Amino acid sequence: MKRKAKISRKTKETNINVDLNIDGKGKYKIETGIGFLNHMLEQLSKHSSMDINLKAKGDTHIDLHHTTEDTGIAIGECLKKASKKFVGIKRYAHALIPMDETLTRVAIDMSNRPYLIWNVKLKVEKLGEMDTELFKEWFQAFSQAAGITMHIENIYGDNSHHIIESCFKGLARSLRAALEMDPRNKNAIPSTKGSL
């Protein structure tokens, strides 16, 4: 079963194309028009081992909000489509990610019940050209579109770049583990309800 998907998402604010392979090698081509967001989505691809090709054009002349949020939606929708209704996956996973002085914990449930707990405080208002408040918007959009419960907590850290990067890497490693096929239940939905 190939776990791949493509989607196109076009609104009056953004035009986004995503091609995603869950069982990839962490290859990526990311073009959002926002340098720091590109860097974070590259981390997501590399550390989850998902191949992600994404091209986004947005109304960045207004601000970066729509492009940031809509890339979260588009990647989330593509991941959900590629996951084939979560059959045979391990479902739950967590990661504890150190990055220099920073330590971040990410725990996820591929439950089809989206929920975000975001316990992350940043000391600066911008990273590159991005308003730091937009990172929560990305994770919220991704969580909703993919149907994932996500708890993200920065335990400690000083450098805001390190804190955000550790959040993306924590999500990536958690996705890699949660989406791994369970050899003991490879044809089953991991729920007593029989569906997610």
Look up the CATH superfamily of 4-178.
Answer: Imidazole glycerol phosphate dehydratase; domain 1 (3.30.230.40)
Q: How confident is the model at residue 195 (pLDDT cuts 50, 70, 90)?
A: confident
Question: Would you tell me how many other CB atoms lie within 10 Å of the CB of residue 62?
Answer: 10
How large is the average pLDDT for residues 163-187?
A: 96
Query: Hey, CA dihedral for 180, 161, 141, 33, is it positive or negative?
Result: negative
Q: How confident is the model at residue 64 (pLDDT cuts 50, 70, 90)?
A: very high
How are beta strands 51-58 and 14-21 bridged, if at all? antiparallel
- How many CA atoms lie within 13 Å of 27's alpha carbon, on the beta-carbon side? 5
pLDDT exceeds cutoff 90 at 54: yes
Longest pairwise C-alpha distance within the chain = 51
Residue 18 DSSP SS3: strand
Specify the pLDDT at position 173.
98
Residue 53 DSSP SS3: strand
Specify the pLDDT at position 106.
98
Global pTM value: 0.96
Domain ranges of the chain: 4-178
DSSP code per residue over 99-137 = ETTEEEEEEEE--S--EEEEE---S-SEETTEETHHHHH
Question: Would you tell me how many other CB atoms lie within 10 Å of the CB of residue 10?
Answer: 11
